[in-house]
Each structure stands twice: as structure tokens, then as C-alpha cells.
Structure 1
């Protein structure tokens, strides 16, 4: 039985209801000590196959079998352990953490092993020496060349001593000299008995390994052995676990320290933004409060005046008035405390004081919608009393409008009698304010 087997692997992507097959029933087997190059043009399914082997993609049909055990039935937790312990990834764009040193980048993988801190540091130094970066352990990724970055990525991939190394275009961003050096490193890893799988479109890279698998349109068009695989090694995977909270916090603090100036500017900018929002909200609430105060100083927000909608040609008084049933309906509305009757007349009204007259646009009974504090002089009207507006008072006595308080004036109202004939009603009232 082979170390790693793929049985009838099929994978499709969907755009709406339209299916686009990528892998069309692949059957492959791999042994430890092999240096396999998966060769093909862009879009041929190489990266998709790599993701399936690496446990990054479980949405496929078929089966991946490792040492006789199917990965299809593994839980997410088991697949996490498979990716941490069995698989080592090497990416074309390196994926190094910029705010960590070369040594710390390798230590990230070792933080998830059961090794002590001292053992982790010793292994990290050993791996970096193995890839030729002994003198660069304190440098940051942006201080390294492309070839050196890829070496760090290889050291990191080897940290947990995985049995399978998957390299996605490991030399795609490198020159010919660095390409040769990286390929020699990968060959050395295969010599140690590990399974090395590279995904590439370069024939030069493919010819360096022990075997070439060529993919064309999602199918295997060639599976050629170049040379005998190396002797399989012993399975020495380190026991791993998820990254602990302390290590995660330490990495976050390292990131803050590395980008301290930028983070300070971000904090200041965020503080200014938050402060501005608070100021604008406070200003808006203040303006709204002022507007509400001005409105409520003129009207009583808890009192509503409701009139019956009557057509202009309706002369039936009974139909113009609110009925008892209307009042009862209003009293039953939730939160209504009481309902008071009132009268409202629009048009046809006039006031007379001596020889002075003033036409008024409307006349109504005094009610809680009129605030007593809006009465600048005098008092609220009682029986047979009237409250005038300043404009009406000025029409009756332009020089001394306030002198009208306490005096009697005549109120006239034009209307129709029962015979629908025009009549004028009049009543003498005392000015209360």
C-alpha cells in the first residue's frame, strides 16, 4: 500500500448553475522519499490538487488515503492536526510575517509543538543553519533577498518535522541561481525520506525531481518516473497543538511594537474621528434639544386639538359638531387622560370697541393647547371673557393695546339660521388678557 493515495478525485467550480470541472477523476499514489513535480499550464488544476492533498479543500468527490486511513471522514479538528503535523507548506510569495525576525518566523510553527522553549530555539537555529541562513537569524524579511526568503519558508515548513512537503511554485519568483539552490534543498529534504510535491509550470523544476505528473485539462496526461525514489524515512512528526493565547498575544504586541509610529498615528486618527463623532452627536442633540424647547415653550406637546373635517357647503350644525360617540372613541385611546369639548369657528368673526373694529380669522374656546405662560399680560379667560392676540389688540387700540385688559368689547359672528338665512350673532365679552 502506498503512503499517500488519491482515488478518483473530482472537483468542480460553479458559476450559478453552470458547472466547470477542474479535476476529472484523478488516481495517483505517492511514496515517501519521492520528489514529485506536478506539471501543467495555468488553469490545469495543479493548485486545486495541491489544496486537496494539503487538506485545505474538502469539497470534492473521491478519496484521499494516508497510510491506509481515509481523510474524508476526519473532523475539522483532525484535519487541523493533519495540516499542522503531516503537511509542510512552501508558497511562491513566501508568506513570511513582516514584523517578526527570521528566527521568530520559524519559531511560529514551533510554538505549536510540545517542545520546550529552549528546544524550540535550538531546533529553529538548526533548521536555519540547514538552509544556509545561520548568519541572518536576527534580520527581518524585508532585509532578505527572494532566495533567502524562500529558504526561511522552507525552514518554517520543516519545523514540525512533517512527512509531506507541498511547494506551490517554489521558484516562481527567483532567478536561475536561487532556483538551483532551492531545488537542491528540496532534493535534500526528499533524500531524508520525506515526500516532496512541487506544483510548477517549469520543465526545469520538474526535471530536477524523481517523478513528473503532467496535468492537462484536469486529467493525468503523463506520469513518468525520472529516477528511483529515495529511501523512506522514519515518521518523526512532532506532536502539535493549536497556537496558544499567550503566543498569539505576544505576536500581536510584536506587531504593534514593529509598526509603533504607524500604530500611534492610527490611534490618534481614530481618537480624533471618535471625538469628532461625539462632538457632532452632542452638538446635534443640543440643537435638537433647543429646537424642542422652543417648540414646547409655544405649545403643549401633551395636548392635541382635534377638529371634525366638514365640507364648506355643509350648513348643518349637527353634522359639523363632534358627537358623543366621537368623544367616547377618543377617551378609549391608550394614554389619553381626558377629553374636553371645545368650539372652533373660522371666518365671519369680528370684534368692535367703540368705533374701532377688527376682523379675526378664527375664534376658539380656551383649551390646554394654549400655554398660560404665552399670555404676556392678564389672565386666561373664564366665563364671558375673551383673550386677544397682540395683533388684534393693536387693531382696536394701536397706541395702548394693553389698556384693553378689563374692558368690554362686542363679538360678532356671521352665520345662518334654521331657515338658511344669514344672521349676525353678537355677545359682549370682557378682555381677560
Structure 2
């Protein structure tokens, strides 16, 4: 039984429904150890026959058997495996991959074998030594002569230890000396028990083999044996084949990326700028949110909930509740809170401290001959921080905390600090139990002076309580500070306070939290940063288009490479992965560059602005960086899908014929 059998092979090409027969019933047998020359003139069907034998051409009728097994040319997976494990190609035009070194051109065939990476490297070096190129392994094909390129092609064809070597005009582009050397190498391969099938139109080359098959006008018109086939070795070698591992695709993609680094760097820079802008604006949003939170928390205890009476009995948002507090000036009686309701707050789940207080809409201060009118006098409680107190301390019994502006108006801009420890006369209006106006007056000592956005005018509650009581006013509170046990429960407690009802099922209180204020502010800041990031994201779309164009260009430039890889046995899946992996690498490098740029910009901006605001205004989180990498990978992967699909669907024969 012959190793390779062809039975009644017919092949035709069609042009506008007109049939042009190329092979007209070819039947041949081949055995290992033979060096068979297919001799004939151009256009006689030699190359078409070789494509059928090599598993590249699927559109024909007839049968091909290998070692007794029928080769189904309609089964793509079987053909890929056949080319991977059984066939090696040597081309007239060498068909080396330009961006790979001599060594890598050989290793690319070994990637689809079960040899370890070290064994693959050793075998590639041995084969290059065998063809006389042991000292050229790190050169690229464009630095080799024609004869050297053909030797690399031979080493690559032998790499996976195939049983069939197909040589298409192997000496057509060589001089006489290189021709003899290449023919000698092919003869040695046949002596090792391989089947050599060489396509040639040269009688001299044909005479070098063991057998000549003459092909003319699509039929066999001669089959001459020149000498017996070589005896097969007692223990023929056979390296097992395997599917191409993903790591091999990534390596090849990386090498191509590095080979065209400067061109690809422009794509990476364009993509990186878009990702950089998104990271920076997101980090800026984080920083602004953090800065606002820091500033607001400096004004008030974040575990505090400020409680006022709900004058409507209906659900009120924060803005409505803030507006309703103006009723304290127009109608103080309507905003007073009963002791019973204060006690109900103390029993509420999650509440640790309840501090009743008084907020006065208008008041007057007098010191010596100076007077000053102010708004919003409140009792000091745990919801207020001491951060704004620049001189003195928080108010104790019979003490008041003034703002810097009030102190200056009562003294002068140079001596206002001397007011600390001095007594001032305080006057404000309140109501008695019947709701009638009551003037409240008294002398209180200045405990300290506050300055900044968090500066407040405040009295100790005991002091306010005594002054109001001595003036005949009601001591009921009109504001309450509720301190929550756990910071995480602040909003939950605020919701419980909002939902407290009286006997008529009307809401009693409205609750204001620092968190609710922050939430409102942060919503606007997040919206602004999102809009800015979205605008920056437009450049990502442009980057995606750049990657698509680059990948399409790469497919066009590497069409022959695609044909070579398919001839070596790579699947369509492997070709798709080759291009998508290169695009993903572009995305990854872009993300790395973007992160470096963003971190550098962050350091510069924070350094420049820290002296002004005492805060790092740009804060890039690990989440922002992870997001950048995810976006880069997703964009680059999607951008590569169409070009990769086009590359995988190229006809291997047409791809090999590309210029």
C-alpha cells in the first residue's frame, strides 16, 4: 500500500460560468523515501496538484488517501491537522515571515508540536546548523541572500518532522551553486525516509530525484523511475503535533508589535491620551468629592443629625426643610418641639445622644459703645466642630463664641483678639408659653473667636436656657442635635426620624445630615466629572477607529504571512487570535502609558495646588486604574474583531499568492 494515493483527481476553474479544466483525472501513488519531481510547463496544473496534496485546495473531485486513510477535504479540522502533522512546504519565493528572525521562522512551525520550549529551541538550532545557517539565527530575512532564505525555508519545512515535503520550484530563484546545495539537502531528506514531491519545470532538477512524473495539460503523460526509492530507516522519527497554544499567538503578536514599534507607538499614544483623560477627570471628580466632604465634615460632626420641626406634616426634601427653617424668625412658636417628642427621639434605635437646642434668627451684641447685629445664633452641641475656633475655646457656662467679623465690628481689625475673656451684652427676641414676644437680654463672656466657612455664633445651652427662663420665655427647644452610634447608620436613623408620626399620622420632624448635603453636592460633582470623562471618552472612539484601520492595514500587509501560517497548520481560530492578541497588546501598552501619564499629571497638579487648598485635589484610585485597563482591553478587542475575522477567512492559496 502506497503512503500517499491520488485517485481520479479532477479540478476546474470557472470564469463567468465557463469551465476551464485544470486537472483531468490524476491518479498517482507515492511512497516514503522517494524524491519525486512533478515536471511540466507553466499552466499545466502542477501547483494546483500540489495544493490538493498539501491540503490547501478543497474544491475538487476525487480521493486523496494518506497511509491508507481517506483525507476528507470538506473537513476543515482534519485538513488543518493534516497540514500540521504530515506536510511541510518549501516555496520558490521562500515565504519567510519578515518580522521574525531566522530562528523564529523555524520555531513557528515547532509551536504546533509537543516538544517543550527548550526542545523546540534546540531542534531549531540543529536544523539551522544542518542547512549551514547556525551563525545567522538572529538575522531577519531581509538580511539574507536568496540561497540562505531557501535554506531557512527548508529548515522550517523539516521542523515538525513531517512525512511529506512539498517543494514548489525550490531552486527557481537560485544560482547554480545554491541549486546544487539545495538539491543535495532535499536528497538527504528523502534518505531519512520522507516523501519529497518537488514541482519544477527544469529537467536538470527533475533528473536529480528518484522519479519523474510528467504533467501536461492536466493529465499524466509520463511516470519514469530514475532509481529505486531510498530504504526507510529502521526507526523513523515522528514528532507528535498539537493545536497551537494561545501563548504562541501572543508571542508572535508581540514580536510583530515590536518590529513595527514606532508606527504602533503612534496608535498607542493616541489611545493612551483618551484613557489618560478619562482617568484624570475621574480622579479629579474623586478629589473634588473628597475635598468637599472634608470641608463639610470640618463644619459638622458626620455622625450628627440636625432635627427641626416639620411644619407641613408631609415628607420634605432637604431644600424644603432648609427653607422651612426661615419660619423660626417669622413664627418661632410654630417651630418649638415638645419635651414628649424629644423623649421619643431618645428612644429611637441607633441614637446615642439627643441634645435639645435653640436657634435664633436675629440677635444684637453690644460692647462698650459698639453694637453689632447678627443672624443665626445657635446653641453649641456635638454636631459642631472646633476646627473653626482660631482664638480661645468653645463656649462654656455663661459664654459665647463670636465670629471674627463680629469681633472686628465690636472692636477694630487690630485689637479684636483682645475681646476674648471680655463680656458683651446679648439681646434677642423669643416667645413665652402663650406665643407672645419676649425680649431676652444678658451679659455673656466671649470664650473664643471663630473664622472661616465653618465659623458660627454659639452659646452654651445652659446659658441660653437660663437667659430665656429669666426673661419669662418658654424653654422649649426649636432644634435638636441627634448623635448616632455608628457612622454607617446615620442615614438610616435620619430616615427613622423623618418617618416619626403624631396622632394624626403627620410627620413630626425633618432631619438634615451632613451625608445628605454631601450627597447632593457630590451628585453635581459626579455629573460634571462624568460629562468631562464622557467628552474625553470621545477620543477613545477615535482610538478604536485608529486600531481598526491599523489592524486592516496589518491584515493587508501580512496576507502572505496568513497563508504561510495556514499552510503550516494553523486554524482560522489561531489567525483570529493572532490579530486580536496584537490589538489587545496595543490596548495594554496604551493603558500602561495612560496610567503613567495620569500619575505624573496627578503629582504635578497636587503639588501645584496643595499650597492653596491644603488638599490633594486629584485622587486616582486602584479602581480607576483597573477601569482604564478594562476599557483599553475591551476597546482594542472589539476594534480587532472585524479585521481578525477577515484575516481568518482568507483563502490560504490566495493569501500565499499575494505580493
Residue 137 (structure 1) aligns with: 137
Residue 28 (structure 1) aligns with: 28
Measured after TM superposition, the shift of residue 235 of structure 1 is 4.7
Measured after TM superposition, the shift of residue 232 of structure 1 is 2.3
Measured after TM superposition, the shift of residue 264 of structure 1 is 2.5
Distance 1:114 1:144, change over 3 A: same
Could you tell me whether the CA contact under 8 Å between 1:162 and 1:236 is conserved in 2?
no
Could you tell me whether the CA contact under 8 Å between 2:55 and 2:73 is conserved in 1?
no
Measured after TM superposition, the shift of residue 76 of structure 1 is 1.8
Measured after TM superposition, the shift of residue 230 of structure 1 is 0.6
Measured after TM superposition, the shift of residue 16 of structure 1 is 2.2
Residue 237 (structure 1) aligns with: 238
1:113 to 2:113 alignment: yes
Residue 415 (structure 1) aligns with: none
TM superposition score normalised by structure 1? 0.61
Cα distance between partner residues in 1 of 2:98 and 2:33: 33
Measured after TM superposition, the shift of residue 88 of structure 1 is 0.5
Cα distance between partner residues in 2 of 1:26 and 1:96: 31
Measured after TM superposition, the shift of residue 236 of structure 1 is 2.9
Q: 1:22-58: per-residue Cα shift (whole Å, max 9, x none)?
A: 0000111111111001011111000000001111112
* SS at structure 1 position matched to 2:135: helix
Could you tell me whether the CA contact under 8 Å between 1:110 and 1:159 is conserved in 2?
yes
* SS at structure 1 position matched to 2:239: coil
Instruction: State the Cα RMSD in Å.
Output: 2.5
Could you tell me whether the CA contact under 8 Å between 2:131 and 2:155 is conserved in 1?
yes
TM superposition score normalised by structure 2? 0.41
Measured after TM superposition, the shift of residue 269 of structure 1 is 8.0
Cα distance between partner residues in 2 of 1:246 and 1:9: 39
> By percentage of residues, which structure has more helix?
2
Residue 184 (structure 2) aligns with: 184
Q: How many residues get paired?
A: 281
Residue 227 (structure 2) aligns with: 227
Cα distance between partner residues in 1 of 2:58 and 2:162: 20
Matches within 5 A, 1:9-408: 9-72=9-72, 75-233=75-233, 234-265=235-266
Cα distance between partner residues in 1 of 2:130 and 2:270: 45
* SS at structure 1 position matched to 2:159: coil
Measured after TM superposition, the shift of residue 202 of structure 1 is 1.2
Q: 1:259-313: per-residue Cα shift (whole Å, max 9, x none)?
A: 21232245568999xx9xx69x99xxxxxxxxxxxxxxxxxxxxxxxxxxxxxxx
Cα distance between partner residues in 1 of 2:198 and 2:271: 45
Cα distance between partner residues in 1 of 2:137 and 2:205: 28
Cα distance between partner residues in 1 of 2:2 and 2:248: 38
Distance 1:101 1:247, change over 3 A: same
Could you tell me whether the CA contact under 8 Å between 1:85 and 1:237 is conserved in 2?
no
* SS at structure 2 position matched to 1:240: coil
Measured after TM superposition, the shift of residue 240 of structure 1 is 1.4
